[in-house]
Amino acid sequence: MSRQARHPVDSDVSGLLLFRLPLRRIGLSGEPEYLRRMARMRVMDKEVQFKKFFRLTSLITDIFPSGGSKFLDFALINMLSNPIVRGTVSSQAHRRVRGIESVSRILVAADLNIGDAIIVQAVILGLKEIFPGAEIDCVIKKSANDLIMGNPNIANLFPVYTSAPYPSEKDLKELAAISSKKDYDLVINFSPMIDDSIFRNPRVVNYTIMAAALVRNEKIVDEINNVVYQAHAFVGSVFRDRLPGNFGKSFKGIRVYLSDEAVEDAVGFLKDAMVSGDDPIVMFNPDASARFTRMPFELQLGLLRKLTGLDVTILLGAGHVEKYIEHELMYSLSPERRKKITVIPAHFKLDVYAALVDLADVFISGDTGPLHLAAARKFLRSSGRSLRNRTSIISVFGGTPPRIYGYDSEAPGFFPANQDAPSKTFVAENTCRNISCINKMAKTCREVRCFRGLQAVEIAEEARKHLDAVFTGSSRERLQILAK
């Protein structure tokens, strides 16, 4: 394999936190170095406050799992989604864009993780619908570059961030330098951990309108509350007075762009592993960035036992947070079952991993960055040609809100994956899940009770049903790809 680098399975979509803490703001005057230091101080202050808040919410549900969960949902959802709060954040955003007569240069700053770099593409699609002639620049995590590079809606891509979940001094310095190079008509700040003042621009709109919508919609069962869908809708809410008549009607999700080399490497990997093009392929991601979203080992083992009982090839992802989990799973299975499993090397680059997802018939994962990557529609960077995009997405949710981060073709309030295949979310029956679980990285619960009630047999049966329904046509197309 020619493309070897760290595979960032530990990516997390943690940027959409519940609120923007009210910290003392400073004006736009002053030296850039002074502003950066002040912004860094705010980041540190926010970090301390976030940790205290989520430690408290974890303690409440540790002591009172069911009652504490209901209390937190009632208190936080009603506080953060009440008309006064929503009206305030909406008025602030509209006030900042009201005086902009023409928009020709836009800077979009994603949050700090790889999943966030993928999700923010929905914002860029929305902006391009409203301002088709605008030049849109985008700042993302450095390791997400291979996925976003080639997006025709982005004029200049800046793969900057190297730190998460909080920006480093270097991240802030580079961000300030990018913002100062152009007189941007508009800045979209999609990170709660980057203070608006770092951009030194009076026309900064941050994510708070969307955060309020996500919290409010948790009370409305039939309202689509997926983070990708709401990211696109966020743009429409900010520029409600400038919307074209067909805004959002064709939006089906986000896109990523893969190089020819990545696709070739993925095909070569399957050939080297002796994976037949006419066999069904199930790709299974065992890792996640937090213990509250990583399926318990016994559930994963049970699922692999069920899947290896089917006539399939299994591509097993490597652990990057939970190191070597793939090997622990493999050697907990019988030698006969292990023959059906091929481990994806940990050093694969993200675009090669994405190309493998595209060649699979089913992708199974908990709530983590690769889930959003799998759900995205994949295109060839060189020609713009749509790739296979026939992967059924099965997500398994424990601690985090499933309607916000999951994909489902049929369940009310869910958004389907951007694939020509069904998507399904399995949700645990835990009693302590609440809206504060949206920030899985900050939770400190003593016991992981997140995945209770989930059955491996039901998840495997969902995969089997899809394979039985589409296997012949799906595999024939893949056979032609592998034969090239």
State the Cα torsion 357-129-416-354 to the nearest 10°. 10
Comparing 93-97, 159-163, 186-190, which segment has the lowest mean pLDDT?
A: 93-97
Burial code of 331-348, b = ≥16 C-beta within 10 A, e = fewer? Answer: eebeeebbebbbbbebeb
pLDDT at 480 exceeding the cut of 60: no
User: In the chain, what percentage of residues exceed pLDDT 70?
Assistant: 88
pLDDT confidence of residue 390:
95
Provide mean pLDDT across the span 272-290.
Answer: 90
Provide mean pLDDT across the span 16-36.
Answer: 46
Distance from chain centroid for Cα 260: 24
pLDDT at 264 exceeding the cut of 80: yes
pLDDT band at 28; cut points 50, 70, 90: very low
User: In the chain, what percentage of residues exceed pLDDT 90?
Assistant: 68
Residues 6+ apart with CB under 8 A from 354: 147, 256, 258, 262, 373, 374, 376, 378
pLDDT confidence of residue 7:
45
Q: Is 311 exposed, middle or buried (0-12, 13-18, 19+ CB in 10 A)?
A: exposed
pLDDT at 16 exceeding the cut of 70: no
Cα–Cα distance for residue pair 114/147, rounded to 1 Å:
10
pLDDT band at 44; cut points 50, 70, 90: low
Which of 22-31, 32-41, 95-104, 314-323 reaches the highest mean pLDDT? Answer: 314-323
Beta strands (DSSP E) in 235-366 are: 255-258, 281-284, 313-316, 341-343, 362-365
Q: What would the pLDDT profile of 214-242 be if each residue is shown by its tens digit?
A: 999 998 988 999 999 999 999 999 999 89
pLDDT at 277 exceeding the cut of 90: no
Would you say 320 and 10 are in contact if contact means Cβ atoms under 8 Å apart? yes
- The overall average pLDDT reported for the chain is 88
Q: What would the pLDDT profile of 164-218 be if each residue is shown by its tens digit?
A: 778 888 999 999 999 999 999 999 999 988 889 899 898 999 988 898 899 999 9
Would you say 112 and 166 are in contact if contact means Cβ atoms under 8 Å apart? yes
pLDDT confidence of residue 400:
93
Q: What would the pLDDT profile of 353-388 be if each residue is shown by its tens digit?
A: 999 999 999 999 999 999 999 999 999 999 999 999
Q: Is 384 exposed, middle or buried (0-12, 13-18, 19+ CB in 10 A)?
A: exposed
Provide mean pLDDT across the span 133-156.
Answer: 95
Between strands 423-427 and 392-397, the pairing is parallel
pLDDT confidence of residue 42:
64
Cα–Cα distance for residue pair 295/297, rounded to 1 Å:
6
Q: Which fold has domain 32-251?
A: Rossmann fold (3.40.50)
Comparing 16-30, 199-213, 462-476, which segment has the lowest mean pLDDT?
A: 16-30
pLDDT at 30 exceeding the cut of 50: no
> What pTM, to 2 d.p., does this model score?
0.88
Q: What would the pLDDT profile of 420-438 be if each residue is shown by its tens digit?
A: 999 999 999 989 999 999 8
pLDDT at 29 exceeding the cut of 50: no
Q: In 3-state terms, what secondary structure has residue 377?
A: strand
Q: Does domain 257-483 correspond to CATH entry 3.40.50.450? A: no
Cα–Cα distance for residue pair 29/93, rounded to 1 Å:
21
Residues 6+ apart with CB under 8 A from 428: 397, 398, 450, 451, 452, 453, 454
Cα–Cα separations (whole angstroms), residue 474 to 120, 138, 344: 30, 35, 22
Residue range(s) in the chain whose domain bears CATH number 3.40.50.2000: 32-251, 257-483
pLDDT at 23 exceeding the cut of 70: no
pLDDT at 5 exceeding the cut of 60: no
pLDDT confidence of residue 39:
60
Cα–Cα separations (whole angstroms), residue 283 to 193, 207, 339, 385: 33, 33, 15, 23
pLDDT at 26 exceeding the cut of 50: no
**Closest C-alpha among 243, 9, 231 to residue 121:** 231
Provide mean pLDDT across the span 405-412.
Answer: 96
Provide mean pLDDT across the span 132-138.
Answer: 97
**Closest C-alpha among 290, 254, 456 to residue 367:** 290
Q: Give the other-Cβ count within 10 Å of 327's Cβ.
A: 13
Provide mean pLDDT across the span 147-165.
Answer: 93
Instruction: Please report where in the chains the tokens 């994949």 appear, as a residue.
Output: 378
pLDDT at 22 exceeding the cut of 70: no
pLDDT band at 2; cut points 50, 70, 90: very low
Q: What would the pLDDT profile of 332-342 be if each residue is shown by its tens digit?
A: 999 999 999 99
Residues 6+ apart with CB under 8 A from 34: none
